[in-house]
Chain A
Amino acid sequence: MPCAKSLARAPLARAASNALHAPNARLASLPRSNVFAACTKMAGDHGAVNLGQGFPSWPVPQFVLDAAAASIRDSEAGFNQYSRPGGHPLLLDAIARFTASRFRRPISEENVTVAAGAQGAISNVFATFCAEGDEVVFIEPAFEMYSRMAAMHGCHVRGVPLGNVTGASVASTSEQLTLDIPALEAAITPRTRLLILNTPHNPTGKVFSRAEYEAVASVVRRHPRLLVLSDDVYEFMVLEASLEHVHFALLPGMWERTISTFSAGKTFSCTGWRVGYCIGPPELIAPLTSTQSIVSFCAAAPLEVAIARSIDAAEALGYFDSLAASLRHKRDELVAALGAAGLKPIVPGGGYFVLCDTSGLKAAGGPSPPSALADDNAFAQRRDYLACAALTKSVGVLGLPIGGFYSPANRHLSDSLLRFAFCKADGELHEAAERLREAKARGAL
């Protein structure tokens, strides 16, 4: 895979011919194209039900909206003026109490830092702890922002693929996806700075078990320089009663090594509010606050206060239980429809998404050209994108191709995969199910 350094070198040669406008070398190497935007456009062009993007299409819960209206309106309280880097005091207090009760360990404001969305929080982790030449390891397929941020900071990435995502013994549920511990151990070198974990997992919906995480912890213990970023944004979306959300930070010896990230936007279905936070030991949290103070100073104060009030109100309202129940229902409807259409869904134990296999699709083409696998900008030539386009046009339902969720060396594993989101209003899911049924009936699939 072309490493970030060589990508950075190339644009400087072009820069000589237009010296005035030559951007920073590393930014010049960022992929310009965006599969999300292309899919959104495609869905719009064909009037398709867009199950590509991971944001909810149901309304924000009323108690959350009311809290935002109140914090803007209550102008005497000053919530419309600067918050502070690291988070508004009211939000830090609410998060600390809430987390302490979930973690069953003391959590104070020193253990919390707020950023502009979980994405902003992850960006701050990279900016704070990763230097050029560091290595970053994650479990693939993985939310593609991790690899983009790594490239942005001049870090090399190594992906450890989950087993049974595809192939002869393909999983039928996310619990059957396997984590290869020896491969994880082999991926870690003296230059590895960050291991990124994500549970419930985007895009597979796997809820990593305690045993799996204990095996990971034993690897981490052998590498003193390693920091762990645990992306827990789907924490409240565990959809099976038999599964529990495991906080990696709470395993023995892992608290000091781990930064756990959470998203108010995902939790309260307001992804546009940009309030996210990290939990960890003070020596990892304080530098994140310092970074925040330079990068964007603080998050949006009235929305921070609204989230604080929402956190306080949610448990008593039974909000988390009703969220999980509602999502489970939606998952079941979509999984049934996808299965009946021959798309072989891997039933997710948690999260917003279900991975499907398109190898049985009529319209599916041959394997991706190798050059397209290595090039982030060439997604439109890949088999998974072509399958997405075929499905969008013939069925009127769009699922996201996830080639960008794999490092180039493993990208071929995504050839037959599409990711469908079920975090959508019931009306949209019914429509999607109906279109799948109808397309199957007329032999289009």
Chain B
Amino acid sequence: MERISWRGRGLLGVALVQGVGGLASSGAPVGHPRGQAAHRLAGADAPTVWSEFGALARETGAVNLGQGFPDWAPPQFVLEAGMQAMSRNCHQYTRTAGHPPLTSVLARRYSAHLERQIDPTAEIAVTVGASQALFLTLQALVNPGDEVLVIEPTFDLYYGQIRVAGATAVGVPMDLDAASGEWHLDMARLDAAVTARTRVLILNSPHNPTGKVFSRDEMLALADFVRAHPRLLVISDEVYKYTVHGHGSSHVHFAALPAMYDRTVTVSSAGKTFSVTGWQVGWAVGPPALIAPMQAYLPLAQFCVATPLQEALSLALDAADRPLFALGGEQVRTLTGDAIDGAARADGAPLVDYYSWRRAQYARKREALADALSAGGIRPLPCAGGFFTMGETSSISVPDEYMRASTAAAPSMRRDWALCRYLAIEHGVLLIPASPFFSREEHERGAALVRVAFCKTDETLERAAERLGTFGSAHAPAAAAQLMAARAAVRAARAAAPQAQAQGVAVRVPMGGK
């Protein structure tokens, strides 16, 4: 099930959409206006990196580290919440702006996060996933002709949604420090990108695809920038906020910074946090002036979000704060606090809340993936949050036939794209090229980079490690050896440090449903 997403082309000209099967089959002439979709959607069904690599995953049977959602079952307490909700009387339309049991839980939690009293009625809108929260926020805030600043590399859904809102995406690329592997945003470059038409800045932390967690100082600098531009609003995409696992990193709520609440719409969702991406429940939180137009749109968009799933999340969000999990082990208590028979728990492992348990799991998987990439001759870049690691691939040589190939989504082949096709087709591992995460003019910045997901079961990561190891020893042995030595040093340093035990990083227990 590939995620269909697409690149904006920045053009607002009229174009015809050639649907599947072609207009000719209807008996109407090709280009007949009956099939003409509104111009702003032109290109929406064009082939993309997602459709191409999704198809490759299916055709090759490669270990799929491309898709950005977990391949394990949701945690048991979330399924319990779902079952409980199904048994309640909550199957009809609910309040369009959000089911009151859920909005009251969200208001309470965000009041703590943002250190102010959040009004559940006026300052929250519940949407079909964070995707729709982003879409509606743009629809509500942006007028045709406006510009939206996007920090690159970036989640490419933003481009499509910006275009559908009739606005232009302006990409501001971050710089990659070769030595540290860290990404840095040049504030002068951001400032230079502002024009009289700039209306919105989209922030995403933890960041997809880089795994960067913007520090408090970086966020304060961004707040200064926003303050300097009185017409600028901010969308803070925080879907990975509970996936901060880098040592010393913590999530900063941009809307909690001085004077930023009135400028910011905060977006998040349940899907990534609770491994229920299919439930499609997201939300936007912000001042009434920004949330009210979204609330006005919601009845027209789909009337309301699925009531029983909102009900389930109203139970799950708070349950996630309770000590139901053995650190490094499994869920050992039910939603209602009863002990679960036979649940795996290492002796002496403390009981922790889901968020802490989950952070430790992701930290461990991040490390496992870093080892696997190193064995493949790919340098893993530092990753502090989210579940993607970027890899640096300059030590790998890509065969000419792949460099010369042309596909529907990549008519003019790029190195990173070619490399990923090569690895998927001939070496059984599917990674995602980084260039599609940049706007066209900057795509060269992705030439030696790939994005790799580690929201995968240990079995999947082990299979990937085997295949990458085989590839590395055959095709990039020197690089692999050097990278693996570096990894060994990191592991040794960590094992010696007391923090490792507290994080549960070193402990390995299979994750997911039985």
Residue B258 lies at the interface, judged by CB distance under 8 Å to chain A: no
Residue A79 lies at the interface, judged by CB distance under 8 Å to chain B: yes
Most buried by B among A34, A284, A297: A297
Shortest Cβ gap from A108 to chain B (Å): 10
Q: Do the beta carbons of A80 and B278 come within 8 Å of each other?
A: yes
Shortest Cβ gap from B312 to chain A (Å): 8
Q: Do the beta carbons of B94 and A272 come within 8 Å of each other?
A: yes
Q: Do the beta carbons of B69 and A81 come within 8 Å of each other?
A: yes
Binds B, one of A68-76, A180-188, A235-243, A334-342: A68-76
Residue A60 lies at the interface, judged by CB distance under 8 Å to chain B: yes
Q: Do the beta carbons of A80 and B74 come within 8 Å of each other?
A: yes
Query: Per a CB cutoff under 8 Å, which of B23, B86, B90, B131 touches A283?
Result: B23
In the complex formed, the residue of B with least CB distance to A273 is: B306
Binds A, one of B31-39, B101-109, B319-327, B402-410: B31-39
Residue B215 lies at the interface, judged by CB distance under 8 Å to chain A: no
* Given known A23-B293, A294-B135, contact A72–B82 (CB-CB < 8 A): yes
Binds B, one of A128-136, A348-356, A358-366: A128-136
Residue A163 lies at the interface, judged by CB distance under 8 Å to chain B: no
Shortest Cβ gap from B289 to chain A (Å): 4
Residue A401 lies at the interface, judged by CB distance under 8 Å to chain B: no
Expressed in whole angstroms, the Cα–Cα distance for A132 and B278 within the complex equals: 33
In the complex formed, the residue of B with least CB distance to A120 is: B302
Residue B300 lies at the interface, judged by CB distance under 8 Å to chain A: yes
Residues of B within 8 A of A269 (CB): 91
In the complex formed, the residue of B with least CB distance to A57 is: B92
Within 8 A of B (CB), among A262-299: 269-274, 281-287, 289-291, 293-299
Residues of B within 8 A of A226 (CB): 34
Most buried by A among B17, B27, B73, B127: B73
Task: Give 1 or 0 for each of A384-425: 1 = CB within 8 Å of chain B CB.
Answer: 000000000000000000000000000000000000000000
In the complex formed, the residue of B with least CB distance to A281 is: B26
Instruction: Tell me how many residue pairs across A and B have CB atoms closer than 8 Å.
Output: 265
Q: Do the beta carbons of A256 and B37 come within 8 Å of each other?
A: no
Query: Per a CB cutoff under 8 Å, which of A79, A148, A227, A256 touches B27?
Result: A256
Residues of B within 8 A of A380 (CB): none
Q: Do the beta carbons of A123 and B301 come within 8 Å of each other?
A: yes
In the complex formed, the residue of A with least CB distance to B90 is: A272
Shortest Cβ gap from A177 to chain B (Å): 27
Q: Do the beta carbons of B86 and A282 come within 8 Å of each other?
A: no
In the complex formed, the residue of A with least CB distance to B50 is: A293
Task: Give 1 or 0 for each of B13-30: 1 = CB within 8 Å of chain A CB.
Answer: 000010111110111100
Residue B205 lies at the interface, judged by CB distance under 8 Å to chain A: no
Within 8 A of A (CB), among B188-237: 230-231, 233
Expressed in whole angstroms, the Cα–Cα distance for A284 and B34 within the complex equals: 9
Q: Do the beta carbons of B513 and A76 come within 8 Å of each other?
A: yes
Expressed in whole angstroms, the Cα–Cα distance for A284 and B239 within the complex equals: 33
Residue B439 lies at the interface, judged by CB distance under 8 Å to chain A: no
A sample of 16 cross-chain residue pairs with beta-carbon separation below 8 angstroms, ordered by A number, consists of A20-B262, A56-B92, A65-B91, A68-B86, A80-B277, A85-B4, A110-B20, A131-B38, A149-B300, A226-B34, A256-B28, A273-B91, A281-B25, A281-B26, A283-B23, A291-B41
Residues of A bordering B, CB below 8 Å: 18-21, 23-25, 27-28, 30, 32, 34, 53, 55-57, 59-60, 65, 68-69, 72-73, 75-76, 79-85, 110, 115-117, 119-120, 123, 127-131, 145, 148-149, 152, 224-227, 256-257, 269-274, 281-287, 289-291, 293-303
Residues of B bordering A, CB below 8 Å: 1-6, 17, 19-23, 25-28, 32-39, 41, 44-45, 69-70, 73-74, 79, 82-83, 86-87, 89-94, 127-129, 131-132, 135, 139-143, 157, 160-161, 164-165, 230-231, 233, 262-263, 271, 275-281, 287, 289-290, 292-293, 296-297, 299-309, 513
Given A20-B233, A148-B300, A287-B37, list of 19 further CB < 8 A pairs? Answer: A23-B141, A27-B293, A32-B296, A57-B92, A72-B82, A73-B82, A80-B279, A81-B276, A82-B69, A82-B278, A119-B303, A271-B93, A272-B93, A273-B306, A294-B135, A296-B301, A297-B3, A300-B306, A302-B278
**Which 9 pairs from chain A and chain B are nearest by CB?**
A301-B278, A272-B307, A75-B73, A290-B44, A120-B302, A286-B19, A116-B302, A296-B128, A23-B293
